[in-house]
Amino acid sequence: MVPSHLRLPLRFVLRIFLHHRWRVAATVAGIATASLLILVQASFFFGFRDAVTAVPLRAKADLWVAASGFRYFDLTRQLSDRDYYQVIRHPAVVQATPLVARFAEWRRPDGGQELVQVIGFPLEADIGLPWNLPDEQRGALGLPDTAVVDAIYRDKLGLTDRDLSAEILGRRVRIAGTTTDIRSFSTAPLLFTEYRAAQSYGWIFGDQFSYLLVRLVPGSDLDVVKTGLIALGNGELDVMTPAELAKKTTAYWMRTTGAGLGLATGIAVALLIGSSIAGLSLHTMIQHYAEEYVCLRVIGASFPFVAAILVAQALLFMASASGIAVILANVLSRQIRAAGGTTLLPGWVSLATCAVLVAIGVAMALFSAHRIIIRAEGAAR
């Protein structure tokens, strides 16, 4: 039920919506376009973040162990079995799984070459990789010389329904399954395979690997365990939580490539321009009916009454336009991602954008109400 003191302002606003459809449509379209600009730019930024941190955040591990001097996930010095035995000695460690992450040259069936990022792990270890792989295809990774890649990269790697085999460093590899929605920021497709095969693809010796994925006794203090593992490694190990590893990787790509910084700057500019367009569109609509609002004040309408009308109008415009923009942005983001792009639009980003625009609308409504009161007082004299 709508409170009695709000019924008349709402009725006034709805009458504007119903009797001035084209002007209302133009205003809503302007605000929706501004909102869409912000959301699309945000989807590219968060898609970038998701792509560079995909493996660290999705693998099942309490801690990641890397060689000292770690900078980012895609490139690190190798660990060895000696490091494995040092880590597994810690009383809080219940499992330490070696993982290979190396770039390799993929020779397509037609003779062309592509760069792939090989991710290898023992198949018996439950570390959640690769994700988005149908259960019926997971067992195929146990076959010799097999791997899994995302379906979107089939054309890039020269794969067809009749020919799913290629070579890495002269060794045959066959694609035994395909994942969905796994993107790579570096444009090198993620190739998931068995641990020993990954070592041979990446020119890694039999006792070497890139990371240790550590599972701890439930309830363990992460900071205490991290300190203990660093001490066991005699300063030769970096120990991170998945979030810390993802943060370092994101920070590296943001600083060194400029891509992340460019996207972040794009969001800031889009937010500034989009907010300005949205505020200006609403202000223009309010000013079109300024004389009517002044008349309401002159004939005795209170400031709260006039302000309630303008705020209700702002809420309806901003909410409806933002809702349209969120729907369009999600559709567009999914289409771009389905085509191979790195876009992602979290729900909280959509809600935050709507909240910002609603706040701008309310502020603009209150500012306009104040100006209308001043004009009305001048007319009354």
In order along its 381 residues, the chain shows pLDDT tens digits of 445 555 656 666 666 666 667 777 787 888 888 888 889 888 988 888 888 888 999 999 999 999 998 888 888 899 999 999 999 999 999 999 999 999 999 998 888 899 999 999 998 888 999 998 888 888 888 888 899 999 999 889 988 877 788 888 888 899 988 998 888 877 789 999 999 888 888 777 778 999 999 999 999 999 999 999 999 888 899 999 999 999 998 888 877 766 667 777 777 888 788 778 777 777 777 776 666 666 766 666 666 777 777 787 788 888 888 889 999 999 999 998 888 888 889 999 899 888 888 888 888 777 777 776 666 555 555
Query: CB-hemisphere CA count at 13 Å for 217?
Result: 9
Instruction: Please name which of 101, 100, 108 lies closest in space to residue 175, comparing C-alpha atoms.
Output: 108
- The CA R_g of the chain, rounded to the nearest whole Å, is 29
Q: What is the pLDDT of residue 171?
A: 86
Query: 99: burial class by Cβ within 10 Å (0-12, 13-18, 19+)?
Result: buried
Give the start-end residues of each E strand in the chain: 63-67, 79-80, 93-107, 113-121, 146-150, 165-168, 171-179, 190-194, 208-209, 211-216, 237-240
Q: What is the pLDDT of residue 15?
A: 67
Tokens 């945000």 belong to residue: 42
Residue 196: other Cβ atoms inside 10 A: 14
Tokens 């002007």 belong to residue: 23
Residue 362: other Cβ atoms inside 10 A: 16
Q: What is the pLDDT of residue 340?
A: 80
Angle between helices 259-288 and 347-380 (to 10 degrees): 30
CB 129, CB 195: distance < 8 Å: no
Q: Where are the domains of the chain?
A: 4-52+259-380, 63-240
CB 192, CB 141: distance < 8 Å: yes
Calpha distance 88→95 (Å, rounded): 7
Q: What is the pLDDT of residue 300?
A: 66
Tokens 């760069």 belong to residue: 115
Tell me 157's DSSP state: T
Calpha distance 157→173 (Å, rounded): 12
Indicate the pTM of the whole model.
0.80
Q: What is the pLDDT of residue 379?
A: 52
Calpha distance 30→357 (Å, rounded): 12
CB 177, CB 138: distance < 8 Å: yes
Token digits of residue 188: 């090198």
CB 58, CB 73: distance < 8 Å: no
Token digits of residue 369: 């109400």
Q: What is the pLDDT of residue 353?
A: 87
